[in-house]
Structure 1
Amino acid sequence: MPDIAIVNIDKREVLDSVQTGHGYKMKEAIGNRMPLDFMWLFAHPVDGQAAPPPSSVVAQPWYGSPASRVPIGHWAGDRVLIVDEYCGTASGNLPQDLIHAYPAADPQDDVLQFALSQLKHVDMPGYERAEDDKLFPSDRIWIVRNHTEKWFARDDALVNAKHRKGPDVGTGFGLGDFIWSQIGGGMNGNECIGHRFDVTTLDKAKDKEEWKDESAKATGWLYEFRMENDDVVDCYDY
């Protein structure tokens, strides 16, 4: 059983890091690039284009049955959090609406066990970005938006220009790592656990008064996350 899981509260789904092939522990999942892969769960194609279907290639999990892949953007705007073996009980970590959806389950169960035993297991889209990608082009500025607190962070502040490839990165830490750090995968005190995130282009936020540009703060948060995980930096070839 993994030591971590990523929970979608609204869709009642769970990503099992072992089942997706990323390892058992937090550091192992980060080193195996799970945050980069799961960024596609939050990404919107440009100009209202439809997201492609999930990859039909299903990896054989390290244990259990294969989970169904979901489309790009499947988790965009949903409440999401990372839980681990040290979080405590389900009742102390999960919203009551999620707890009440499983009346036969014990809310005093460990939150990780509750998530893995009660929620629907899914796998990531398995999207591989093309060099000249029409859905996720490199000539746009991409942002992570926090819908709960109405702020965004720009990729040209978070990621070195030579590493940026649309919302993805060629190497190093990227937008997926930033979301990961905010929803419980970091220890920097800036987590937005259970908040609603998505990845889109800057035009979706600029000139709208309700959105605040927090790129400067976000750069510091991502730097702290990198320093906390300096032993996996080599795995990212940063």
Structure 2
Amino acid sequence: MIEASEVERFFTRSDGSYLFARWGRPIAPIVFGVEDSTLSVVKGAFEAVCAMVGHQMAETDPELGANVMVFFFREWSELLDVPDLDRLIDGLAPLVARLSEAEANQYRVFRFDEAGAIKACFVFLRMDDVLSAIPAETLALSQVVQSMVLWSDTAFTDQSPLGQLDDGRVVLRPEIGALMRAAYDPVMPAMDTDPSHALRVAARMKVARGN
């Protein structure tokens, strides 16, 4: 079981600040740039993770229509041709230039409501050789997990949130699943900047285990 210090690490950013946020509204995803078979895989991953943490999904968001947009593409420059995307994401052109120069293959942009809860997420996946070699189910699960809460920018630099079973199946690591369920407990805040939040998450995890 993850201790409070480990929970804190998952939400302590590289500048030393603590910041946690989860979704404050039902999730309504849409996926661009893939075939129907992959579309169903991505939406299925959202459904599975939402069911696990006890969060709702919806067909549409009353304010935004779709509040999770997942883009699959080959080159970052393709984003500049997406109609109205520059109205949804401030500084799209310099962001694209920076990500192209860094040869990044993924990036996520979050938007928040007045209470600090997540209200929108944009997931960008440049399908280079690395991402193209990952099975669709694995890639989808990984992206959904990283879109459900605002993790630290260093949270998964050393270890993926996913693990592999003896039979080869890739699943969410149990401790990460337990952490997410605790963070989505209705008694917990949707946003917090105090490291004591990590103590509360760890306590909820222990309660769930009956300890």
Task: Report the TM-score range of the alignment, normalised by the length of the smaller protein.
Answer: under 0.3
Decide which structure has greater helix share: 2
